[in-house]
């Protein structure tokens, strides 16, 4: 290990941002390797500064490390300079804590947050000298697992992952680590362990399923080939967030990261039912943490980290049933420490004014609203359930409370969208500017900044729009240019938009099947890594990788799915019924809205988890 450390130290002198690789942060956990029975590597398939901003990593890192006979250490995707040096110096990918090679670990867990990080997973396994394909791994090789929102369509990664965890990680992770720990000393073959894992609720073992295809390339069936495998793998759900594990300390980076603050998860799930939103479907039902638990967590996390900002994290923080009371309590508890409270992207119909006034007492943090569409017709299509009047009221409240910078998020390429809907985006931005100037000078802050950001619609599994095609690249680029020209006439507005080529590839992999594993492998061989970073993204290499694999990306992104077509993820049970999703699509086509679940059950299928649906237990669950 000493020679290994010396090599690493020498490399750190030659790379950008050496703190990405040094470890030793405050609150990092370093256990004696030989004193524990199970060695778990949490792998984030992107750079350190992205991974250290991920709340799920903090939760699972603390959850495993509190087990006395287990340890959890972190792995991140190295930047290109470090990767090149590691290959040159013959140094395998190593953990942040003990600098142990990846291949030494019993279990490697990847989080699947974004489809365009899939090639990073393959690159990390290669760099870690772990056999890439699951069927190539022998008994002493690490068991490779994955979880997160993208695991609800695991098929593009099925050739490389031994087991997927479906649903809430707190519920299944320790069952999985215990199974590997108990299997290690038995000498039993790897297949025995895989059968044990397949019996754990919420675990999908792709080796135990066969995929058949129709002559037209669509999926004919996904069927179990082993008695240990259930016909459908049902997601895990944490029913009570108060009793679920949440860290009271976590490693504090030495270098700047994307979200450099305390993230306090106040609730999980969303009852609104936006038809494009995968997270809103996957993380149902809504569960809230109590006011007392959140105050206790906030106080402990501030003491353990020294951060001066807390972000209230959830899919729809404005819907937390005690939001004003929570913010008042946190401001009171942490007033002496000068800790500010920030709210993530807000629904514009949330009760907000009182909360805004409280959060700006220490310092003003960013304020973001997500109208998503420019006209009421299209907002009804996507079931956004908010109006222009809501937006004007809320931004006026914000400007009156001293804010001068507002971000507005929209999506382009939504089903049924027309140029009139794009005109509506520019019109809304202009009206927001007018709201600022409608506030008396003595009440408004100087320096108006309105930012309009657009992303391209990507049809996602387990949403009503999973059947819909994506707009072509040419059409998305035309719409971006059209909107850019419209917004140019609105003084005080900045316009940002996402690279449509990335959204095109995201659409391919979000609804892709098992054959796409060939594309991922070809893409890595062509150097497609760290694609979330625009300066490293090569669309040409990706198109060549599809050609290498003999597959047409347009078939995956632009094709409308048949009403009765078998989806590649049909065997993964999110709890939301196909019938409900199809009914929601038909309502979207008629621009009909569906009520919030808090106001009555809409029959999505989640009542199979007794006692956890928001309509049955309003407020705190």
Contact by Cβ (8 Å): 619, 267: no
**How far is residue 43's CA from residue 573's CA, in Å, rounded to a whole number?**
25
Residue 118 CB neighbour total at 10 angstroms: 28
H/E segment holding residue 390? helix 388-400
* Partners of 287 in the β-ladder: 268
Please state the rounded mean pLDDT for residues 534-546.
95
> Can you give the length of the chain in residues?
621
Buried b (16+ CB within 10 A) or exposed e, 352-374: bbebbbbbbebebbebbbbbbbb
Please state the rounded mean pLDDT for residues 218-234.
97
Residue 346 pLDDT > 80: no
Buried b (16+ CB within 10 A) or exposed e, 266-302: bbbbbbbbbbbbbbbbbbbbbbbbbbebbbebbbebb
H/E segment holding residue 409? strand 405-412
Residue 345 pLDDT > 70: no
Q: What does the DSSP assignment read for 466-499? A: GGSPPPPHHHHHHHHHHHHHHHHTSTTEEEEE--
**How far is residue 430's CA from residue 415's CA, in Å, rounded to a whole number?**
25
Task: Please state which architecture CATH assigns to domain 366-510+551-559.
Answer: 2-Layer Sandwich (3.30)
Please state the rounded mean pLDDT for residues 599-610.
82
Q: Residue 369: its pLDDT value, please?
A: 87
Tokens of 501: 């080529």
Read off the pLDDT of residues 479-497 as tens digits, 9 standing for 90 and up.
Answer: 999 999 999 999 989 999 9
- Chain-centroid distance of CA 525 in Å reads 26
Q: Residue 385: its pLDDT value, please?
A: 84
Range(s) of the chain covered by CATH 3.40.50.280: 2-234
Average the pLDDT over each of 221-225, 344-348, 466-470 and give the range with the smallest value. Answer: 344-348
Residue 620 pLDDT > 60: no
Residue 523 pLDDT > 70: yes
Read off the pLDDT of residues 562-580 as tens digits, 9 standing for 90 and up.
Answer: 999 999 999 999 999 999 9
Contact by Cβ (8 Å): 210, 230: no
Contact by Cβ (8 Å): 322, 350: no
**C-alpha neighbours within 13 Å on the C-beta side of residue 469:** 12
Q: Collapsing DSSP states into helix, strand and coil, what is residue 302? A: helix
Residue 197 pLDDT > 70: yes
Tokens of 334: 């942490």
Residue 3 pLDDT > 60: yes
Q: Collapsing DSSP states into helix, strand and coil, what is residue 88? A: helix
Q: Residue 621: its pLDDT value, please?
A: 27
Tokens of 220: 């004919």
Read off the pLDDT of residues 357-373 as tens digits, 9 standing for 90 and up.
Answer: 555 554 455 578 889 99
The chain-wide mean pLDDT, for the chain, equals: 92
Q: Residue 606: its pLDDT value, please?
A: 85
**How far is residue 116's CA from residue 531's CA, in Å, rounded to a whole number?**
6
Q: Residue 617: its pLDDT value, please?
A: 42
Please state the rounded mean pLDDT for residues 65-90.
96
Read off the pLDDT of residues 305-342 as tens digits, 9 standing for 90 and up.
Answer: 999 899 999 888 878 888 889 988 998 999 888 888 88
* Partners of 313 in the β-ladder: 265
Average the pLDDT over each of 118-122, 176-180, 204-208, 386-390 and give the range with the smallest value. Answer: 386-390
- Confidence tier at 618 by pLDDT (50, 70, 90): very low
The structure tokens 């519920």 sit at 171
Please state the rounded mean pLDDT for residues 429-452.
91
Tokens of 568: 């590649």
- The percentage of the chain sitting over the pLDDT mark of 90, rounded to a whole number, equals 77
Query: Cis (ω within 30 of 0) for the bond into 609?
Result: no
User: Alpha carbon of 9 to those of 48, 98, 180, 255, 462: distances in Å?
Assistant: 18, 13, 33, 17, 46
Task: Please state which architecture CATH assigns to domain 2-234.
Answer: 3-Layer(aba) Sandwich (3.40)
Q: Residue 353: its pLDDT value, please?
A: 54
Tokens of 425: 């985006």
**How far is residue 100's CA from residue 106's CA, in Å, rounded to a whole number?**
12
Q: Residue 5: its pLDDT value, please?
A: 82
Q: What does the DSSP assignment read for 506-545? A: HHHHHT--TTHHHHHHHHHHTT---TTSTTT--HHHHHHH
336, exposed or middle or buried, with CB in 10 Å at 0-12, 13-18, 19+?
A: exposed
Task: Please state which architecture CATH assigns to domain 261-363+591-621.
Answer: 2-Layer Sandwich (3.30)
Residue 9 CB neighbour total at 10 angstroms: 12
Please state the rounded mean pLDDT for residues 107-136.
98
Range(s) of the chain covered by CATH 3.30.750.200: 366-510+551-559
Angle, CA of 149, 355 and 394, to the nearest 5°: 85
- Confidence tier at 442 by pLDDT (50, 70, 90): confident
248, exposed or middle or buried, with CB in 10 Å at 0-12, 13-18, 19+?
A: middle
Contact by Cβ (8 Å): 151, 236: no
* Partners of 452 in the β-ladder: 408, 495
Q: Residue 444: its pLDDT value, please?
A: 85
């Amino acid at each position: 290990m000493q020679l290994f450390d010396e090599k690493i130290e020498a490399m750190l002198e030659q790379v950008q941002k050496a703190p990405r690789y040094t470890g030793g942060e405050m609150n990092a956990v370093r256990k004696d390797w030989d004193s524990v029975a199970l060695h778990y590597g949490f792998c984030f398939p992107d750079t350190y500064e992205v991974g250290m901003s991920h709340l799920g990593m903090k939760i699972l890192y603390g959850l495993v490390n509190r087990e006395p006979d287990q340890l959890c250490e972190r792995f991140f995707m190295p930047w290109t300079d470090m990767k090149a040096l590691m290959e040159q110096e013959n140094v395998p990918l190593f953990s942040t804590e003990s600098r142990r090679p990846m291949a030494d670990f019993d279990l490697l867990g990847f989080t699947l947050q974004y489809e365009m990080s899939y090639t990073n997973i393959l690159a990390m396994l290669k760099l870690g000298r772990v056999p890439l394909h699951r069927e190539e791994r022998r008994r002493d090789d690490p068991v490779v697992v994955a979880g997160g929102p993208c695991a609800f369509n695991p098929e593009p990664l099925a050739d490389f992952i031994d087991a997927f965890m479906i649903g809430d990680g707190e519920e299944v992770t320790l069952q999985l680590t215990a199974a590997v720990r108990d299997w290690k000393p038995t000498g039993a073959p790897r297949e025995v362990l895989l059968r044990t894992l397949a019996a754990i609720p919420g675990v999908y073992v792709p080796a135990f399923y066969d995929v058949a295809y129709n002559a037209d390339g669509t999926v004919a069936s996904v069927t179990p080939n082993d008695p240990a495998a259930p016909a459908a793998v049902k997601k895990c759900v944490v029913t009570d967030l108060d009793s679920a594990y949440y860290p009271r300390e976590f490693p504090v980076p030495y270098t700047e990261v994307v979200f450099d603050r305390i993230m306090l998860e106040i609730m999980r799930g969303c009852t609104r039912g936006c038809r494009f939103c995968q997270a809103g479907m996957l993380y149902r039902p809504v569960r809230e943490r109590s006011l007392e638990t959140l105050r206790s967590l906030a106080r402990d996390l501030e003491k353990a980290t020294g951060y001066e900002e807390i972000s209230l994290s959830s899919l729809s923080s404005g819907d937390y049933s005690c939001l004003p009371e929570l913010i008042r309590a946190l401001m009171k508890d942490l007033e002496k420490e000068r800790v500010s409270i920030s709210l993530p992207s807000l629904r514009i119909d949330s009760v907000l004014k009182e909360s805004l006034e409280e959060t700006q007492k220490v310092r003003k943090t960013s304020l973001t609203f997500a109208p998503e569409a420019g006209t009421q017709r299209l907002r009804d299509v996507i079931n956004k359930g908010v109006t222009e009047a809501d937006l004007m009221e809320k931004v006026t409240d914000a400007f009156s409370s001293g804010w001068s910078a507002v971000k507005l998020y929209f999506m382009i390429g939504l089903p049924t969208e027309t140029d009139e809907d794009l005109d509506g985006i520019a019109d809304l931005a202009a009206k927001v500017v007018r709201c600022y100037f409608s506030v008396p000078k003595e009440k408004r802050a100087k320096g108006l900044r309105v930012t309009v950001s657009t992303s391209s619609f990507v049809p996602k599994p387990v949403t009503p729009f999973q059947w819909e095609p994506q707009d072509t690249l040419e059409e998305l680029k035309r719409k971006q240019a059209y909107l850019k020209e419209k917004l140019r006439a609105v003084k005080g507005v900045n316009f940002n938009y996402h690279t449509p080529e990335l959204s095109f590839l995201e659409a391919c992999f979000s609804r892709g099947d098992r054959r796409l594993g060939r594309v991922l492998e070809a893409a890595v061989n062509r150097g497609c890594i760290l694609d979330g970073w625009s300066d490293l993204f090569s669309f040409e290499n990706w198109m060549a990788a599809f050609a290498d694999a003999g597959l047409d990306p347009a078939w995956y992104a632009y094709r409308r799915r048949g009403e009765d077509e078998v989806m590649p993820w049909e065997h993964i049970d999110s709890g939301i019924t196909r019938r409900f999703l199809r009914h929601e699509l038909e309502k979207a086509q008629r621009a009909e809205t569906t009520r919030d679940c808090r106001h009555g059950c809409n029959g999505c299928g989640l009542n199979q988890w007794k006692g956890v649906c928001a309509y049955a237990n309003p407020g705190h669950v």
